[in-house]
């Protein structure tokens, strides 16, 4: 009798097929863009390593790696401004993650809805 390998990764690890595709920076991180799923509004940019991506995919809550604090953080655990994950996609080069979320409250640490509305740059005409 032949047994089929279990396609699911060990608990607590990113699926090997996804891990093999990711192109990480020298620090092991990939940029993760959070976007409001129903309006397309770009909310913020965070950073993920394999574990943060695994947690995001398995919990349905956006989890990032804090480069300044050197720890994982689940968006909204302290602020209440939760990101419930609707979908996750890799870009064509597999070096950026797009996390479509349903954002509750502000996405930016400044208290703004998005991190990209305070400093709009004008194009030279």
**CB count in 10 Å sphere of residue 108:** 15
**Percent of the chain's residues with pLDDT above 90:** 78
The annotation places the binding site for Zn(2+) at 92, 108, 115
- Show the tokens assigned to 68: 């300044």
pLDDT tens track for 20-58: 999 999 999 999 999 999 999 999 999 999 999 999 999
Specify whether the CB–CB gap between 63 and 49 falls below 8 A.
Answer: no
The annotation places the binding site at 91-93, 95, 108, 115
Instruction: Using pLDDT thresholds of 50, 70 and 90, give the confidence band for residue 4.
Output: very low
State if pTM tops 0.75: yes
Residues facing 71 on adjacent strands: 66
Instruction: Using pLDDT thresholds of 50, 70 and 90, give the confidence band for residue 2.
Output: very low
Radius of gyration of the chain (CA): 16
The annotation places the binding site for Mg(2+) at 91, 93, 95
């Amino acid at each position: 009798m032949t047994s089929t390998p279990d396609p699911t990764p060990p608990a607590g690890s990113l699926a090997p097929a996804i891990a093999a595709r990711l192109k990480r920076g020298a620090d092991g991180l990939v940029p993760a863009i959070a976007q409001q799923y129903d309006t397309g509004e770009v909310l913020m940019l965070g950073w993920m390593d394999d574990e943060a991506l695994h947690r995001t995919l398995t919990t349905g809550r956006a989890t990032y790696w804090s480069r300044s604090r050197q720890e994982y953080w689940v968006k909204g655990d302290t602020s209440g401004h939760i990101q419930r994950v609707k979908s996750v996609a890799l870009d064509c080069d597999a070096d950026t993650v797009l996390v479509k979320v349903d954002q509750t409250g502000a996405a930016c640490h400044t208290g703004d809805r998005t991190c990209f509305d305070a400093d709009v740059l004008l194009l030279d005409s």
